[in-house]
Amino acid sequence: MEVKYTPQGETGKTCADCKFYTPKPDNPGIGDCFGHEVEAKGSCNMFQPKE
């Protein structure tokens, strides 16, 4: 499936809210998602809420 990334996610559905997101310890605005660097405020169609 193609990942459709958007640099500005909807409130409550951003990478920061996603279970696949791991924020960088030195920069919480940037994080890792499956080995890719993404922005906390971004989002994509693979979004899954944190448990």
- Tell the smallest beta-carbon distance from residue 26 to ligand SF4 (Å): 18
> Binding of ligand SF4 at residue 40 (CB under 6 A)?
no
Which one of 5, 23, 30, 41 is in contact with ligand SF4 (CB under 6 A)?
5
> Binding of ligand SF4 at residue 30 (CB under 6 A)?
no
Alpha-carbon gap, residue 24 to 3, rounded angstroms: 22
Secondary structure of residue 47 in the 3-state scheme:
coil
Output the CA torsion sign for 48, 41, 21, 32: positive
> Binding of ligand SF4 at residue 21 (CB under 6 A)?
yes
